[in-house]
């Protein structure tokens, strides 16, 4: 992959039915406090990050990532990763940390964290945001953006997590949407909640691409592409496809090799149409008036990626081969993707259950099962009971690395940041740790503007100066 990538995941929290109403609200706080105070997974923030993040709201971790509270949800941000295997493993590390906290609090029998994107009861959504470092000089003209949006709208055919039912959120102009025909099952959880193609806000007017220019790196060299459209995946194979194919397409963009005449007439409407189309045709309208299938769009991107990137390295070849395997299977043998593509896996589980119980899609059990698919507890989550084909199963199993919870990637600046976390964790010195800097006592700071540098030597020298100064001077 050779591109800096990070994933931010918000988790839902469920407490067993016999608990007091509203009792789930306090568990994210309890888990956050347990992880920082008891498990000592990192250093808690001593300062305001902004008005919604006061001191103690979260902190950076020994693995270089970050864990914090966001509007009542617990959120985990992976460290910066340079390789595909790393980003998948460090995304899973968030699940491992939260589950270990529940077990440490002796609460795993009654409290669950759910890695999904919808609340069936309130209609709320919570995100799985992807971050891709790009060259500052990359061109984002309207035709280029249109082509990128076509890829992002159609990739859900293998990245979608699936959901029962539908939501009809208000758009930013607050127009009441027209009632839709009842939808039994959708490919994507986020599709109904995306109301714009490109916009700066994250809440209320969620866009496919968040346009805020905040590189968290040297702004002269880099920009950060922040995507809101993605679902939270239970399958590591699906996470690898989601991140890996997107990284490939961004490389095509940077090199001026995107396909031509592939802009959608309406990327937001196409996203919703594909999600709700259970025929498998997934037809969309292009800007030029033609219709095309989502599979055909993906094949065009795949063909160019193979042409320009095949043979670069083993990881890229695995990705290109898996992308091809998945597109072929979606067209000819979708059952071979069970355990690898989340929406297909969930739909198969639900249809099997409905046949056994002789019930339909309207039964409330299905919403409960929908949530349980995303339970991160391997002993309870429905995803973990599925046995995939060998190709997918071996990949999924190889991605669960316990050490990813407490050791950083060795080849990004997460390594230097984790070094600072470990240092301040053992001392009473005042500190400020950010994605792109470390500060001591507000008087000395180290800028880490290059995400590709591990900063180990620089952090060691910086900390030696901090250690030679009394925190009370």
Assess whether 70 carries a catalytic annotation. Answer: yes
| 70, 296, 441, 450: the active-site residue | 70
Nearest to 401 by CA among 100, 64, 85: 85
Per-residue CA distances from 466 to 278, 295, 414, 471, 473 (Å): 60, 56, 20, 8, 11
* C-alpha triplet 209, 60, 315: angle, nearest 5°: 55
Contact 375, 114 (CB under 8 A): yes
Strand partners, 58: 68
Burial of 176-200, coded b for 16+ CB within 10 Å and e otherwise, reads eeeeeeebebbbbbbbbbbbbbebe
- Distant-in-sequence, close-in-space partners of 266: CB < 8 Å, separation ≥ 6: 285
- Distant-in-sequence, close-in-space partners of 111: CB < 8 Å, separation ≥ 6: 13, 14, 15, 16, 24, 27, 102, 105
Nearest to 60 by CA among 83, 84, 35, 24: 35
Contact 217, 144 (CB under 8 A): no
Question: In 10 A of CB 401, how many CB atoms?
Answer: 16
Cα radius of gyration (the chain): 22
SS3 state at 452:
coil
> How many residues can be counted in the chain?
473
Residues classed as catalytic: 70
């Amino acid at each position: 992959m050779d591109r800096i990538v990070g994933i931010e995941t918000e988790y839902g929290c469920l407490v067993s039915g016999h608990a007091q109403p509203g009792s789930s609200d306090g568990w994210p706080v309890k888990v956050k406090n347990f992880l920082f105070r008891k498990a000592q997974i990192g250093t808690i923030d001593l300062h305001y990050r902004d008005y919604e993040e006061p001191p103690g709201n979260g902190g950076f971790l020994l693995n270089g990532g970050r864990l914090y509270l966001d509007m009542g949800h617990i959120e985990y941000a992976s460290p910066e990763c340079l390789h595909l295997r790393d980003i998948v493993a460090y995304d899973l590390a968030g699940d491992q940390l939260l589950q270990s906290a529940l077990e440490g609090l002796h609460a795993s029998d009654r409290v669950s964290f759910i890695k999904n994107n919808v609340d069936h009861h309130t209609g709320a959504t919570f995100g799985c945001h992807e971050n891709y470092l790009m060259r500052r000089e990359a061109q984002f003209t309207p035709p280029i953006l249109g082509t990128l949006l076509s890829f992002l709208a159609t990739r859900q055919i293998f990245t979608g997590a699936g959901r029962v039912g539908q939501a009809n959120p208000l758009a930013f102009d607050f127009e009441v949407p027209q009632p839709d025909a009842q939808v039994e099952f959708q490919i994507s959880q986020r599709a109904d909640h995306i109301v714009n193609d490109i916009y700066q806000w994250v809440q209320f007017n969620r866009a496919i691409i968040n346009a805020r220019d905040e590189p968290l790196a040297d702004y002269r060299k880099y920009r950060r592409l922040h995507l809101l459209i993605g679902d939270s995946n239970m399958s590591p194979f699906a996470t690898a496809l989601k991140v890996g194919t997107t990284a490939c397409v961004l490389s095509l963009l940077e090199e001026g090799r995107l396909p031509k005449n592939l802009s959608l007439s309406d990327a937001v409407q196409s996203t919703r149409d594909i999600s709700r189309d259970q025929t498998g045709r997934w037809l969309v309208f292009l800007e030029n008036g033609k219709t095309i299938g989502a599979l055909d769009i993906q094949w065009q991107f795949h063909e160019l990626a193979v042409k320009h990137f095949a043979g670069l390295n083993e990881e890229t070849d695995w990705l290109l081969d898996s992308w091809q395997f998945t597109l072929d299977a979606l067209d000819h043998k979708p059952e071979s993707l069970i355990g690898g593509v989340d929406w297909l896996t969930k739909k198969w589980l639900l249809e099997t259950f409905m046949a056994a119980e002789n019930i339909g899609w309207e039964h409330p059990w299905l919403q409960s099962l929908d949530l349980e698919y995303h339970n991160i507890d391997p002993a309870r989550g429905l995803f973990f009971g599925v046995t995939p084909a060998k190709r997918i199963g071996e990949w999924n199993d190889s991605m669960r690395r316990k050490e990813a919870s407490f050791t950083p990637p060795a080849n990004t600046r997460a390594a230097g940041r984790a070094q600072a976390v470990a240092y301040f964790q053992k001392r009473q010195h005042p500190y400020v740790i950010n994605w792109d800097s470390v500060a001591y006592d507000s008087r000395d700071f180290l800028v880490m503007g290059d995400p590709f540098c591990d900063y180990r030597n620089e952090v060691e020298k910086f900390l030696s100066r901090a250690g030679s100064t009394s925190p009370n001077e």
